[in-house]
Amino acid sequence: MLEATHRIPGLVLRDHSFELPLDYARPGRTLSVYAREVIAPGKENANQPYLVYFQGGPGSGAPRPTSNSGWLGRALQDYRVLLLDQRGTGRSTPVTTQALVGLGDAQAQADYLMHFRADNIVRDAEAIRQQIIGQNPWSILGQSYGGFCAMHYLSAAPEGLKEVLITGGIPSLFRPADDVYRATYRRVVAKNRLYYQRYPGDVARVRQIVDHLLQHDVRLPGGAQLTAQRFLQLGLQFGMSDGFEAVHYLLEEAFVAGGDGRGALQWNFLFHLEHLQTFDTNPIYSLLHEACYTQGAASQWSAQRLLAEFAEFALEGSDPVLFTGEMIYPWMFDTYAQLQPLKAAAELLAATDAWPALYDVARLQHNTVPVAAAVYSDDMYVHREFSEETAALVPNVKLWVTNEYEHNGLRADGAAVLGRLLAMVRGEV
Q: What are phi and psi of 276, to 5 degrees?
A: -80, -20
Known active-site residue 212: no
Known active-site residue 105: no
Helices (DSSP H) in 92-215: which residue ranges?
97-101, 106-113, 118-133, 145-156, 177-198, 202-215
Rounded Cα distance between 354 and 374, Å, is 32
The count of other CB atoms within 10 Å of the CB of residue 195 is 23
Catalytic residue among 286, 379, 383, 387: 379
Catalytic residue among 60, 92, 144, 387: 144
Does residue 376 contact residue 131 with C-beta atoms inside 8 Å? no
Question: In the sheet where 161-167 sits, what is the strand order?
Answer: 2-8, 11-21, 30-39, 80-84, 50-54, 138-143, 161-167, 371-376, 397-402
Query: Which residue from 365, 392, 349 is spatially nearest to 111, judged by alpha carbons?
Result: 349
Known active-site residue 78: no
Q: Assign 195 to helix, strand or coil.
A: helix
The strand pairing partners of 376, in sequence order, are: 402
Strands 30-39 and 11-21: antiparallel
Catalytic residue among 16, 212, 383, 407: 407
Instruction: Report the sign of the C-alpha dihedral through residues 68, 72, 73, 75, in that order.
Output: negative
- Active-site annotation, residues: 144, 379, 407
